[in-house]
């Protein structure tokens, strides 16, 4: 299928516009292209924030394409395979939206039209939700009005945002909210005027792009750990990531660690971004970071995985410094 997305980048913000007329109905190809677009910018230094919106007037996304539920021979509910095929569609959407939710950089949904059913679920998978206040656009899980239920994570993510009581009402009664109502219950971050909506959303994204990128990445990982696993795991990841954040150039420069000896090796933003933190808690140091950086990380008790000569020198440097301090 032809491209369903329009993608552009400026000022460290990548804007992704969904473009599947007439209403951006959700199909597998659109999910796949969204994930592919996010994967392309995941480790790109030119992108610090992603703004997800629609190229179609009045619709952010109107939900799943109901026609896709039918098989080649139509929707045969007498065939046991039909139930499994439809359930598998839900599983694929759940997996896709979870992957979108775990995109490591800030992801903002700029909801410039109706976000219903799967459209609401897609917005729920984003970190921020900014919605147009045009007295017309609505957001909600409207599946029960069709005899269905949310199938892409809505029954799980909506209660996290608005609480079980409101989520139950919204899902059971297929309630659609306008932007001010959605903002009042915490479903969206802000209702923005229709006049200049995209510019206002882009300005919000640009401000966020000025924040420390690695700190945002580590904070998002800690937030998701607590929400998806347990508060205990969330605290554990928070502590680990607090330590990792303290090793970054942004923290060294802004906190300044007054009164403490600190290596002052300077790095470009591109070099800093290459310090990728994996789930095992290792810093993967780029070869061009040099002995000072590796020494600082190893000396701080953070294990480093790299077989290069400079990393070995960094370990030696950290060891000499540690013994000298003793």
Q: What positions carry a catalytic annotation?
A: 121, 143
Residues 129, 120: Cα–Cα separation, whole Å:
10
């Amino acid at each position: 299928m032809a491209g369903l997305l329009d993608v552009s980048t400026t000022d460290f913000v990548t804007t992704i516009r969904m473009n599947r007329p007439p209403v951006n109905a959700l199909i597998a190809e659109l999910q796949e292209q969204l994930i592919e677009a996010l994967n392309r910018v995941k480790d790109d230094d030119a992108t610090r924030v992603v703004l997800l919106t629609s190229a179609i007037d009045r619709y952010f996304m109107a939900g799943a394409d109901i026609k896709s539920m039918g098989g080649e021979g139509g929707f045969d509910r007498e065939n046991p395979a039909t139930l499994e095929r439809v359930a598998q569609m839900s599983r694929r959407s759940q997996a896709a939206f979870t992957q979108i939710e775990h995109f490591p950089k800030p992801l903002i949904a700029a909801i410039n039209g109706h976000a219903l059913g799967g459209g609401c679920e897609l917005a729920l998978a984003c970190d921020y939700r900014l919605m147009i206040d045009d007295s017309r656009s609505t957001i909600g899980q409207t599946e029960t009005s069709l005899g269905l239920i949310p199938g892409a994570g809505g029954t799980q993510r909506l209660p996290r945002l608005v609480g079980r009581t409101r989520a139950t009402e919204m899902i059971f009664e297929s309630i659609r909210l306008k932007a001010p109502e959605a903002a009042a219950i915490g479903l969206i971050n802000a209702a923005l005027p229709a006049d200049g909506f995209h510019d206002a959303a882009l300005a919000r994204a640009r401000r966020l792009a000025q924040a420390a990128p690695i700190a945002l990445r580590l904070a998002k990982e800690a937030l998701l750990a607590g929400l998806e696993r347990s508060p205990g795991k969330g605290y554990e990841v928070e502590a680990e990531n607090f330590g990792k954040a303290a090793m970054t150039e942004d923290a060294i420069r802004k906190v300044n660690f007054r009164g403490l000896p600190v290596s002052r090796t300077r790095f470009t933003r591109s070099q800093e971004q290459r310090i990728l933190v994996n789930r095992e808690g290792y810093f993967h140091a780029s070869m061009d970071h040099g002995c000072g950086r590796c020494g600082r990380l190893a000396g701080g008790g953070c294990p480093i995985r790299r077989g290069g000569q400079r990393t070995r020198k960094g370990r030696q440097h950290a060891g000499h410094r540690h013994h000298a301090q003793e």
